[in-house]
Amino acid sequence: MTTTVGASWGGGAQVQAPADRGTTTVLSLKRPYLLFLGEETLALKAKTAYGLRDWAAESCRGQWRMPGGTIDLGLPEMTPETAVAAGARSLVIGVTPPQGRIPPGWREALLRSVRAGLDIVSGLHTSLQDVEGLAAAAAASGAQLVDVRRPPANLPR
């Protein structure tokens, strides 16, 4: 039995599941995306955003920068609300802040995103579940919080 682990847009890595498990697990990221750039000023810290723009351009609706952010992917500037109106379904955190931790200053932006109905996708070290009030806001709006560093509970071991 082969289990696919990875984003639905990119195929994913193949891992061999134990013979006693008959499940297939796919980490599904709802497309299209709004790429979140925070207040980042260094292109080197925006590798995820650039990678999605370059390799999954058809899935990127726009970019969202906070005040002070100077990274420009050449995508339309959008807020969560305008991105949802344009068909976006997920906000992807496309930058790496210091120590891979979600800065406290992002809390309101993330809350705004789930309240608008966007799932949030993060590969940072801080779990989205650890952002105060975010899990409750996501549950209320029907949005999902996807921490790609934390494997799904049903992933074969």
| Domains contained in the chain, CATH given | 29-147 (3.40.50.720)
The stretch 138-156 carries a mean pLDDT of 88
Q: Per residue in 20-74, pLDDT tens? A: 555 555 677 999 999 999 999 999 999 999 999 999 999 999 999 999 999 999 9
Checking 133-139 for CB contacts under 8 A at 24+ apart, the result is: 133/107, 134/107, 134/110, 137/111, 138/114
- Average pLDDT on 8-20 reads 43
Cα 91 to chain centroid, rounded: 5
pTM across the whole model: 0.83
- Whether the predicted pLDDT of 154 surpasses 90: no
pLDDT at 10: 41
User: What's residue 8's pLDDT?
Assistant: 41
**pLDDT tens track for 89-131:** 999 999 999 999 999 999 999 999 999 999 999 999 999 999 9
**Contact 91/119 with Cβ under 8 angstroms?**
yes
Rounded Cα gap, residues 116 and 57, in angstroms: 23
- Answer whether residue 16 shows pLDDT above 50: no
